[in-house]
Each structure stands twice: as C-alpha cells, then as structure tokens.
Amino acid sequence: MIASVTSGGFQTTVQDCGRTRLRKFGVTPGGALDSVSLRLANLVVGNSECMAGLECTSGRLQLQFDCERLISWAGDEFKVQVGKELVPSLHCARVSADAILEISPKRAGRIWLAVSGGIDAPEILGSRSTDLRAHFGGWQGRALREGDELPLGSESKLCARIRAALLERVSDWSAPRFVSRKRFLRVIRGKNWDDDTGAKLLAQKFRVAMNSDRMGLRLEGGELVSTNPPELVSEAVVPGTIQLPRSGAPVVLLGDCQTIGGYPKIAHVITVDLGYAAQLQPLDEVRFELIELEQARDLLRERERDVALFRAGLEARFG
C-alpha cells in the first residue's frame, strides 16, 4: 500500500506531532508547524490525531495511490483536487486507486494533508517527522521528490465507517476551522522583557525576511535596540520564543528551532497562534499584541475543548 509521488512540490515533508521529551538531549521537537491543523485533518479521515501526514509549502504536489484512501487537508489557500473535483479544506474525500491527487497553492503558505492509515515512514526517536537540518526522520530525512513511494499504514475501523457513509466523493460535512491569517500575533512577556523594548515590539510593523524557514521567522522593518543586546547564559527556548539577536531585529522561533539560546527572550507567541505564525511567508507583514498568561491559557483550553467536542461528535456519528 503506497502513495507514489509524481510531483514533489517544494519542501513537502512527512510530519506528525513531533518528538517530545527529548529537548534535554538537544533534540528539536519538529513536527507539523501547525499541529492542530494536522490533528483535525487526521480526525476527519478516521486516524488518531498525531498520525504522520504531509506538510506542503508551495509548488505542485501530485500523488497517486495504489488503493482507495480517504484524504483531508487544513491550512492556507491551496487548490486541492481529485481528478477534476475540488476538495474544500477539512472535508473528507475518497481517492480511488490510480486517481491523481493534485495540490497547488493559490498563494504562498502551508497546508497539512492527512491520508487514512497515515504515512508509514520509519519511526525515529518516537516520531515519523522529518528533521531537515539533521537529515533524519520522515522520508529519508529530506523533502519529497518525484519517484518516491510512500508506504501507507493500515486503516482503522473508524476509517472504514466514514468511507461507507460517504455518498459522494467529497463529504458534505467538515471539521471546524480554527486557524486563519490575522493582523496580529498575540504574545506574552518573556524573561528578558523590558517596557521600552516591549513598547517598540508592539508599536512596529515587521516584514518576514527571505531567509526565514521552519527554524524561525526573521523579521525586518525595525530594530528594537540601537546597540547590540547583551549575550546571556544559554537557556531553554521553545517554538514561539521571540529572541533579540545582535542585529536588534527579532526572530520568532518555530518548530525546528534549537533547544537553547543565548539571546534575550523578550516575548513568546502564544500556543494557539503558532498556527498563524506557520502561515507567514517571506515579505508578509506582521504585528504583535500583548496579552496576559492566564488569557493565553484560557484560549488554549478553549481550543482543546473544541477539538475534543469535534472528536466526540465524529465518534458518535460514525461509531
């Protein structure tokens, strides 16, 4: 059971929810930059939430399956079609054997594709995610290429029940959409926050630099300090940490970030907004909005409650 790659797109990688509890060994968490989008897409096709799927960035991706599968996707503005039929975001679609699944962007961004049964890449350090910098995990530690043949896992009983209930190729129901582009990324204060630098961070509009990647968003358009910020004893950093390097231009760390850093940590993007950050591409503009830690916790609890309600409703409908 395989999915053949007839066009690999650009930086299409196998990702799941990442490597956990290994930061103390210097292992980056990695995984889908917007884990909630992958989780929802997986639920729609009857998978467990963190099964491995594909993170698609740009270019044209074409897949051909040797057996019928269900697919779903979530993320930015992409055109996803099976043959000539369009598949809307977070709907479930049946892809018959030998049919062509084609994905192409309407604008620069990212989406996450789930396939029933998941991508059965080898598990390394508890995850099937691709680490592009360390060249391991996913499919041969790299982005997909034309000619790759991805092994597919076995489908669950829930997959079979969802397929049996599909009267058309594409479902008339969908998962709720939690992530969309916003003007502001919400942040909480970091350990090295000070009111002057923080005020500059909140007042300015920044542009995403061309050398941004899965490790972090390098921002241009304004320096927060006029002199080199002090280097500190290296401490833990996480996805969402906003560091202030010597240039004075902030960097928002993403899923492939290092585990420690010695630059001031002025703020942290809240967990529920990391999906918005993942959609930002070079030349996009972004601003920041300060909220309190308890607000960030409430927003995360609310999102996780909504995911749990959708999961329960899906199981009740097809269980």
- The pLDDT score that the predictor gives to residue 77 is 84
Tokens 């060249």 — which residue? 135
Looking at residue 221, its pLDDT comes to 85
Distance (Å, whole) CA 36 – CA 264? 29
Give the model's pLDDT for residue 115. 98
What's the residue count for the chain?
319
Expressed in angstroms, the distance from the first to the final Cα of the chain is 25
Distance CA 87, CA 186 (A): 31
Read off the pLDDT of residues 251-277 as tens digits, 9 standing for 90 and up: 999 999 999 998 999 999 999 999 999
Which domains does the chain carry? 2-178 (no CATH), 184-298 (2.40.100.10)
From the number of C-beta atoms within 10 Å of its C-beta (0-12, 13-18, 19+), residue 161 rates as middle
**CB distance 250 to 242 below 8 Å:** yes
Tokens 């061309």, located at residue = 210
Structure tokens at 241: 């940490």
DSSP code, position 106: S
**318 Rama class: left (phi>0) / alpha (psi -120 to 50) / beta:** alpha
Residue whose C-alpha is closest to residue 224's, from 241, 247, 207: 247
pLDDT at 45: 97
How many Å apart are CA 144 and CA 95, to the nearest integer?
20
Give 117-148 pLDDT, tens digit per residue: 999 999 999 999 999 999 999 999 999 999 99
What are the φ/ψ torsions at residue 6 (nearest 5 degrees)? Answer: -95, -15
Average pLDDT of adjacent 10-residue blocks, the chain of 319 residues: 92 95 90 96 97 93 95 92 93 94 87 97 96 94 96 95 92 84 88 92 94 94 71 88 91 94 94 93 94 97 95 91
Taken in order 209, 211, 216, 218, the sign of the CA dihedral is: negative
Query: Among 147, 31, 43, 41, which Cα is nearest to 87's?
Result: 41
Dihedral over alpha carbons 262, 264, 266, 272 (to 10 degrees): -10
CA distances from 64 to 9, 115, 221, 264, 286 (A): 14, 12, 43, 47, 37
SS (H, E, C) 262-306: CCCEEEEECHHHHHHHHHCCCCCEEEEEECCHHHHHHHHHHHHHH
Q: What is the pLDDT of residue 227?
A: 65
0.85 exceeded by the pTM? Answer: yes
Q: Which of 118, 124, 189 is nearest to 154 (CA)?
A: 118
Reduced to 3 states (helix: H, G, I; strand: E, B; else coil), residue 190 is: coil
